[in-house]
Amino acid sequence: MSAPSGSIVLEARGIAKQFGGLKALDNVDLKVIQGECLAIIGPNGAGKTTFFNILTGLLRESAGRILFEGVDITDYAPHRRAAIGISRTMQITSIFPQLSVFDNVLIGVQGPHAPWKALRLKALPVDEMRRRAAEIVELVGLGDNADVICANLSHGDQRLVEIALALSVEAKLLLLDEPTAGLSITETRYITSRLRDIWQRKKLTIVIVEHDMEVALGLATRVAVFHQGACLAIGEPKAIMADEVVNRVYLKGHTRADT
């Protein structure tokens, strides 16, 4: 997949994070381009999930700034970042297990139009909310399971429900934190295929943290390599695979079994 040459959707400038004496992130600069799928790879403890948590406001950076569509959002709370179109999934699947697939997604669609926001946002008609929810369920490939209780789904399909939930809030930037973690090889390949289809059909901007190199390189238009809290390298997949420093510190000998 060729890298898009669009505008900058999100920019991290000099992001640092310290936990006591531990420097989890060290002066990370990163730009996310409109319409790209950017994979962030690196060993455990490299700072990938910490970086995601800062992007979404779950953690506060020790230094640096975050810009989204040219606006400084460093001081935005998580719910405000979600409201402007930054959505994410977690390493551990987070859905409503006792509800159906459709009802899970409907809750997400209703979120921005909840009654308590009525003074600021015009609520969508119920029929329109249901139409949007059904469209997203079909998009992620769960149309045949729309009425199935999520607790009865396979782990892979539960991951798809979580992705559908992330899409349901009118995401402009989708952050996926290890979407294939804990999945079988068959499930991983299916999720990868669904993500590629979603990305291409919806023209989304996606940033994905992923340990599985086959997934990362199969989806990404660009790859950023994190190592010891720093962004070691960033570029198109072929360039990253050929980078001597990246190979020395991370890629050499890295297989699915290592994740």
**Tokens linked to 163:** 């992705």
- For domain 1-85+171-258, give its CATH number from 3.60.10.10, 3.40.50.300, 1.10.357.10, 2.60.40.2220: 3.40.50.300
Q: Are 167 and 198 in contact (CB under 8 A)?
A: yes
- Residue ranges, the chain, pLDDT below 70: 1-5, 91-92, 112-124, 251-259
- Per residue in 13-40, pLDDT tens? 999 999 998 999 999 999 999 999 999 9
Residue position matching structure tokens 């230094």 = 63
Q: What is the DSSP letter of 247?
A: I
Q: What pLDDT is recorded for position 255?
A: 46
Q: What pLDDT is recorded for position 171?
A: 86
Q: Are 125 and 93 in contact (CB under 8 A)?
A: no
Residue 58's alpha-carbon distances to 1, 67, 119, 151, 155, in angstroms, are 31, 16, 27, 27, 25
Domain residue ranges of the chain, discontinuous segments joined by +? 1-85+171-258, 91-170
Number of H helices, E strands in the chain: 9, 10
Beta partners for residue 12, in sequence order: 30, 66
Stretch (H or E) spanning 67 = strand 63-68
- Per residue in 205-248, pLDDT tens? 999 998 888 888 889 999 999 999 999 999 999 999 899 888 88
Q: What pLDDT is recorded for position 147?
A: 97
Please tell me the number of Cα atoms within 13 Å of 14 on its side-chain side. Answer: 4
